[in-house]
C-alpha cells in the first residue's frame, strides 16, 4: 500500500526526531539558472552603485529573515532587488549561497538586470517593480539525464508536486513532501518568494509542477520561475536540520512533540477550510448573478481587500497627474504602494444594472483565470461612496495608444509586434481551452503592454462561459440588440446576425487585431474613398491580387523579413474568414505563427461584407 507524507514544518519536526538525520552534506550553492536581460542602461556606473546600495540594505534582512527587497535610484537608473533563501537552509548556508549569487549577478551589468537561481537561494535585479510576477517568459526547467525505469515513478512525482502546490501557499509559501511505494521514493520541495500572495504562489507552483512533469521519467526535475522554485528528486535533498531550526529552540522533547501535534491539527483545519473555500469558488458552484460588489470581492476569492486610505495615499489623493486614462465605467489611476509596488486603480462609476453586472462578471472571470498573458487582478475596495478595482500596473498602457500614435508606433519593431501577436494568441488559447471562456471584446485597447511590450489581455466585462467541448451557443430566438455586445468592426458576422457564440468569434476579433498590428491601420478608420471599405477587406483584396506587401506598415524598420510579415498577415486573413468553421483555433494559430516557412498555410477564403466594398 502506498504511503504518503505531507511535510509541513510541524509534521517534519516529529519525523526528524523519529528518524536519523541525513548525514550527507548537500551543496546548495550550485548554479541552476542564470539570465541577464537583453537591454542595457545608459549609466552603468550609477546602476552598479544602486545595486551595491540595495545589496547592503538587505544584508541584515537576509541574515535574520532569509529574505529581502529594496529599491534605489531615480528612473531610468532606478533598480529593484529581491533575494530569498530556501527555507530549509541554515543561516550560515543562506549567507554563503546569497553572497555567491549576488557576486555572480553583478556580472550582468550594464544590462538592466537579471536573475540567478542557485539550489539554495534566488536573487533578481531589474529596472521595474517585478515583485508580484509569479511567472515570466524567462521561466525555465532543468531535467536530470538519469531516467527512472519504475512505472510507478511518474504517479509518485505527480502526487508530490500536487501536494506541494496545494500546501505551500498556505504554509508561508514553503512545503516539502514525500511519496513512496515500497522502496521507490520521491521527494519534493516548493517555495514562493514572499512578495506573492497565496493565490499567486499557487499559480506559480502549479506552473512549475506542469513544467517539471515534462521532465519525466528523469529522476530529478527543477522549475525555475519568476516567483517560485520547485524541485522533485528520488533522494532526500532538503536539509532536515535547517527545517528543524526554523521552528525549534532548545527545549524538552515533550514540548517538541506538543508543537508538532498542534501543527498537525492546524494543517487539518487549514485543509478543511481550504477545501470549503475552493468548493465555494468552483466554477461549477458559482453563477454570474447580480450581487453586492463587496461580496464579489471577498466571498470565496483570493483577492485582496484594499483600504480606501491605502489607495488614496498611493495616488496622492487621486491626483490628476496620476490619471492614466478613462476605461470602461471609470477612470484609471497609477498608484505606488508603501513597499514600492506599482498598481493600476480603476475608480468605478456604477449606475444601473448592466454596468454592475459587467463589473461583477469581470471580477468573477479574471479572479479564476490567471495566465502570464492575462492582466492580473489584485483586489478591490468598496466603500459607501466609492468602488475600485486594483490591477497590476503595466508601464506601456494599451496597444492602441502605441500602435496608432504616429511617434510611439516607431517603437514597435517587428520583433515586438510578433511577440504581441503570439502572446495575445496564447492568452486566448488559455481562456478558450483551460477556462472555457469567450472574451467577446478582443481589440487593441484591451491588450495591455508591460515595460518589455509583453501583452496581457484585459477587460473581461463581456466575457462568457461556454459549454464543455466548445460547441456553439445558439439563441432560441433572434438576438435583440441589447444581447449583442462587443465593438463593431471586431465582431464576427454570425454573432451580429444570429447571436451565435463560440470561440471562433474571438478568433475573428484576433484576426482583425493581427491585421491592425501588421499594417498599422485601424480597421474601422481605414483611409479609403469607399466609406464601406475596411482594413480586412482591403488586405484581402491585396492578397487576392498578389500585392500583400503594400499593406505592411511603413513605420517598421526596412530590414524586416517581409515574407514573415506577409505570412502573419495571411494568418490574420484565415482568422477573419466569413465561415467560422474555417477559422483556426488559437492553438492552431500559435502553431502557424511559430512554425517555419516549410509549414504551408491554407489559402484563406473571402472575409464577410466584401461585396459591400466592391
| CA dist 59 → 52, 54, 102, 107 (Å) | 11, 9, 11, 19
With H, G, I as helix, E, B as strand and everything else as coil, classify residue 554.
coil
Q: Give the pLDDT of residue 12.
A: 33
- Give dist(CA 575, CA 579) in Å, integer: 10
Q: Give the pLDDT of residue 505.
A: 95
Domain 399-613 has CATH 3.40.50.300: no
DSSP-derived pairing of the beta strands 464-465 and 437-438? antiparallel
- Give dist(CA 229, CA 260) in Å, integer: 26
Q: Give the pLDDT of residue 612.
A: 45
529-560 per-position pLDDT tens digit: 555 678 999 999 999 999 999 999 998 877 78
Of 441, 450, 459, 506, which one is the catalytic site residue?
Answer: 441
- Name the least confident of 190-194, 238-242, 252-256: 252-256
* C-alpha cell of residue 41: 542602461
CA 269 to chain centre: 30
578-602 per-position pLDDT tens digit: 999 999 999 999 999 998 877 889 9
CA dihedral 313, 317, 322, 326 (to 10 degrees): 120
Residue % of the chain over a pLDDT of 70: 78
Domain boundaries, the chain: 1-250, 293-392, 399-613
Determine the length of the chain: 614
Q: Is the pLDDT of residue 103 over 60?
A: yes
- Give dist(CA 156, CA 162) in Å, integer: 10
Q: First CA to last CA across the chain, in angstroms?
A: 73
388-433 per-position pLDDT tens digit: 889 999 989 899 999 999 999 988 999 999 999 999 999 999 999 9
441 is catalytic: yes
Fold type of domain 293-392: Phosphorylase Kinase; domain 1 (3.30.200)
Domain 1-250 has CATH 3.10.310.30: no
E strand segments, 193-317: 221-224, 228-233, 304-305
- Give dist(CA 82, CA 128) in Å, integer: 12
Averaged pLDDT, 468-495: 63
* C-alpha cell of residue 177: 513532501
Q: What is the DSSP letter of 217?
A: T
Q: What is the DSSP letter of 21?
A: P
457 near 391, Cβ under 8 Å?
Answer: no
Q: Is the pLDDT of residue 116 over 90?
A: yes
Binding-site residue set: 346
Q: What is the DSSP letter of 95?
A: H
65-95 per-position pLDDT tens digit: 999 999 998 877 889 999 999 998 988 889 9
Binding-site residue set for ATP: 346
| CA dist 170 → 8, 203, 299, 364 (Å) | 10, 13, 18, 22
Averaged pLDDT, 21-32: 58
599 exposed, middle or buried (CB, 10 Å; 0-12, 13-18, 19+)? exposed
Q: Give the pLDDT of residue 570.
A: 97
- Give dist(CA 251, CA 258) in Å, integer: 11
Q: Is the pLDDT of residue 367 over 90?
A: no
Confidence band of 24 (pLDDT split at 50, 70, 90): very low
What is the residue-wise DSSP string for 154-204? HHHHHHHHHHHHHHGGGTTTEEEEEEEETTEEEEEEEEE-TTS-HHHHHHH
Confidence band of 498 (pLDDT split at 50, 70, 90): confident
Question: Which bin fits 300, alpha (ψ -120 to 50), beta or left (φ > 0)?
Answer: left
| CA dist 464 → 56, 235, 366, 479 (Å) | 50, 46, 11, 16
Q: Give the pLDDT of residue 208.
A: 94
What is the rounded average pLDDT for all residues in the chain? 80
Averaged pLDDT, 147-163: 94
Q: Can you give the pTM of this predicted structure?
A: 0.53
Averaged pLDDT, 446-455: 93
276-324 per-position pLDDT tens digit: 333 334 443 333 333 444 555 554 345 678 888 999 999 999 999 999 8
Amino acid at each position: 500500500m502506498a504511503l504518503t507524507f505531507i511535510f509541513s514544518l510541524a509534521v517534519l519536526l516529529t519525523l526528524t526526531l523519529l528518524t536519523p538525520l541525513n548525514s550527507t552534506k548537500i551543496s546548495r550553492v550550485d548554479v541552476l539558472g542564470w539570465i541577464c536581460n537583453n537591454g542595457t542602461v545608459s549609466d552603468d556606473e550609477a546602476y552598479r552603485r544602486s545595486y551595491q546600495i540595495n545589496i547592503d540594505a538587505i544584508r541584515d534582512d537576509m541574515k535574520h529573515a532569509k529574505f529581502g527587497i529594496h529599491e534605489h535610484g531615480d528612473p531610468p537608473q532606478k533598480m529593484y532587488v529581491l533575494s530569498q533563501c530556501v527555507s530549509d537552509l541554515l543561516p550560515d548556508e543562506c549567507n554563503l549561497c546569497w553572497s555567491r549569487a549576488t557576486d555572480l549577478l553583478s556580472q550582468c551589468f550594464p544590462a538592466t538586470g537579471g536573475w540567478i537561481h542557485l539550489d539554495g537561494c534566488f536573487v533578481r535585479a531589474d529596472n521595474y517593480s517585478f515583485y508580484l510576477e509569479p511567472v515570466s517568459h524567462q521561466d525555465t526547467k532543468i531535467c536530470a539525464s538519469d531516467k527512472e525505469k519504475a512505472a510507478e515513478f511518474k504517479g509518485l512525482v505527480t502526487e508530490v508536486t500536487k501536494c506541494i502546490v496545494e500546501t505551500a501557499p498556505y504554509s508561508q509559501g514553503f512545503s516539502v513532501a514525500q511519496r513512496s511505494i515500497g522502496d521507490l521514493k520521491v521527494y519534493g520541495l516548493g517555495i514562493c518568494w514572499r512578495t506573492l500572495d497565496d493565490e499567486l504562489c499557487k499559480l506559480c507552483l502549479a506552473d512549475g509542477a506542469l513544467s517539471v512533469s515534462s521532465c519525466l521519467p528523469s529522476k530529478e526535475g527543477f522549475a525555475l520561475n519568476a516567483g517560485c522554485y520547485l524541485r522533485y528528486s528520488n533522494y532526500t535533498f532538503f536539509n532536515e536540520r535547517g527545517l528543524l531550526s526554523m521552528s525549534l529552540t532548545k527545549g524538552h522533547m515533550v514540548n517538541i512533540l506538543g508543537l508538532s501535534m498542534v501543527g498537525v491539527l492546524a494543517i487539518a483545519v487549514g485543509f478543511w477550510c481550504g477545501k470549503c473555500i475552493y468548493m465555494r469558488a468552483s466554477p461549477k458552484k458559482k453563477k454570474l448573478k447580480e450581487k453586492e460588489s463587496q461580496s464579489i470581492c471577498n466571498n470565496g476569492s483570493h483577492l485582496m481587500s484594499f483600504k480606501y486610505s491605502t489607495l488614496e495615499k498611493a495616488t496622492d489623493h487621486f491626483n490628476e497627474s496620476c490619471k492614466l486614462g478613462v476605461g470602461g465605467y471609470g477612470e484609471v489611476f497609477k498608484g505606488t504602494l508603501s513597499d514600492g509596488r506599482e498598481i493600476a486603480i480603476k475608480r468605478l462609476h456604477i449606475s444601473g444594472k448592466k454596468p454592475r453586472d459587467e463589473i461583477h462578471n469581470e471580477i468573477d472571470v479574471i479572479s479564476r483565470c490567471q495566465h502570464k498573458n492575462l492582466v492580473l487582478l489584485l483586489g478591490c475596495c468598496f466603500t459607501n461612496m466609492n468602488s475600485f478595482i486594483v490591477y497590476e500596473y503595466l508601464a506601456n498602457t494599451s496597444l492602441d495608444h502605441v500602435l496608432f500614435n504616429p511617434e510611439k508606433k516607431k517603437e514597435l519593431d517587428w520583433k515586438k509586434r510578433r511577440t504581441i501577436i503570439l502572446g495575445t494568441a496564447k492568452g486566448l488559447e488559455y481562456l478558450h481551452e483551460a477556462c472555457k471562456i469567450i472574451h467577446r471584446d478582443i481589440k487593441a485597447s484591451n491588450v495591455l503592454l508591460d515595460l518589455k511590450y509583453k501583452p496581457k489581455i484585459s477587460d473581461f466585462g463581456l466575457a462568457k462561459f461556454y459549454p464543455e467541448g466548445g460547441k456553439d451557443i445558439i439563441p432560441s430566438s433572434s438576438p435583440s440588440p441589447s444581447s449583442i455586445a462587443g465593438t463593431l468592426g471586431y465582431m464576427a458576422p454570425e454573432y451580429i446576425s444570429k447571436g451565435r457564440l463560440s470561440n471562433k468569434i474571438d478568433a475573428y476579433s484576433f484576426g482583425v487585431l493581427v491585421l491592425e498590428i501588421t499594417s498599422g491601420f485601424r480597421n474601422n478608420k481605414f483611409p479609403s474613398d469607399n466609406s464601406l471599405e475596411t482594413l480586412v477587406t482591403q488586405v484581402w483584396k491585396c492578397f487576392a491580387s498578389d500585392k500583400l506587401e503594400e499593406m505592411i506598415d511603413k513605420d517598421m524598420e526596412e530590414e524586416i523579413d517581409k515574407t514573415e510579415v506577409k505570412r502573419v498577415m495571411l494568418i490574420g486573413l484565415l482568422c477573419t474568414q466569413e465561415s467560422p468553421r474555417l477559422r483556426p483555433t488559437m492553438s492552431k494559430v500559435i502553431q502557424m505563427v511559430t512554425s517555419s516557412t516549410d509549414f504551408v498555410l491554407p489559402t484563406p477564403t473571402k472575409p464577410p461584407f466584401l461585396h459591400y466594398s466592391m
